[in-house]
Structure 1
């Protein structure tokens, strides 16, 4: 009888304790996420910008970070460098070729916990039909209940790609990415 009571109590406790693993949708609609970039302009200064339209999802388990996954799709025509004429040029086949390649994607293949909230997210990045492996150096910002009755977790990260690796006709070296992702638990 004692074992039955202990087992029943454990099952009841397990039923009210939330599971740590969860799926999240990136909150890009609420402007709680951003995909920013910068690249040297002719070697003289930094050109900065962002992609205004993207979406994605991720799975995150604080107790088993290696099981985490993330996928993001970026609408390349949403490039915004705060200059309409330049954006028009960025959309041509000199750079993003948005007519032929309307999206860029990132799909993780491995997530490593580096301690103190730091993560190394390895994955396949596809841009202009070319896929290369890259690593995002990320950090967990925080997580918890939001004022609307949901639950959120947020991360920031940085990575870089070589323009020459993705077939750009004009090559100014590296594009540096600054990423901010806030997810709403589903």
Structure 2
């Protein structure tokens, strides 16, 4: 009788565990150039300067059945900024703005994911930039997930936010340039 009870408990536990989806861990595919952290800022109110960060890495965990359990962690090297103009990049990297010598890294670690639709969510986390850590919320869109041609599995997202530079102790270059728009595209490869 005890053997049957133990067997039934073991089977029930196995079935229950099998029915529970677990969040999968993904490494962001920066090496394959399938992920980007792009930015834009107003230039005198007439146009926008666009740029990107070239050196960064990150991971995320994702479970389509429980998107609120998702997490993301990104670290970027601030000196890797690129706007296709060497003198401008040097100025942005200087003490006038990012001060990359003193603050070589920026990080984002999610603290909360709130689904807002079938494929959308607000992703809030702690952004550390220029030595200041502040909560920031990204508007995220789930693009899809599935197998890739190389035998792996992938998932992808886009996320946007607008930063007030003064919140991070950075004075924008002019009255129309006190905010910075971030547009992030993430494609991750599932850990095996």
What TM-score do you get using the length of structure 1 for normalisation? Answer: 0.90
1:101 is paired with a residue whose SS is coil
**Contact 2:171–2:178 (CA<8 Å) still a contact in 1?**
no
Please tell me whether residue 95 in structure 1 is matched to residue 100 in structure 2: no
**Contact 1:20–1:61 (CA<8 Å) still a contact in 2?**
yes
- Please give the alpha-carbon distance, in whole angstroms, between the structure 2 residues aligned to 1:162 and 1:90: 16
Please tell me whether residue 21 in structure 1 is matched to residue 23 in structure 2: yes
Alignment of 1:11-90 (within 5 A): 11=14, 19-90=21-92
Give the length in aligned residue pairs: 184
- Please give the alpha-carbon distance, in whole angstroms, between the structure 2 residues aligned to 1:185 and 1:35: 20
Q: How far off its partner does 1:170 sit? A: 3.7
Unaligned runs of 5+ in 1: none
- Please give the alpha-carbon distance, in whole angstroms, between the structure 1 residues aligned to 2:13 and 2:93: 58
What TM-score do you get using the length of structure 2 for normalisation? Answer: 0.87
Q: How far off its partner does 1:44 sit? A: 2.0
Partner residue, 1:110: 112
Q: How far off its partner does 1:68 sit? A: 0.9
- Please give the alpha-carbon distance, in whole angstroms, between the structure 2 residues aligned to 1:123 and 1:131: 10
1:31 is paired with a residue whose SS is coil
Please tell me whether residue 184 in structure 1 is matched to residue 186 in structure 2: no
Q: How far off its partner does 1:10 sit? A: 9.5
**Contact 1:117–1:139 (CA<8 Å) still a contact in 2?**
yes
CA offset digits 1:132-169 (Å, max 9, x no partner): 11100000001000111110000001101011111124
Partner residue, 1:137: 139
**Contact 1:93–1:169 (CA<8 Å) still a contact in 2?**
no
Q: How far off its partner does 1:63 sit? A: 1.0
Q: How far off its partner does 1:95 sit? A: 1.1
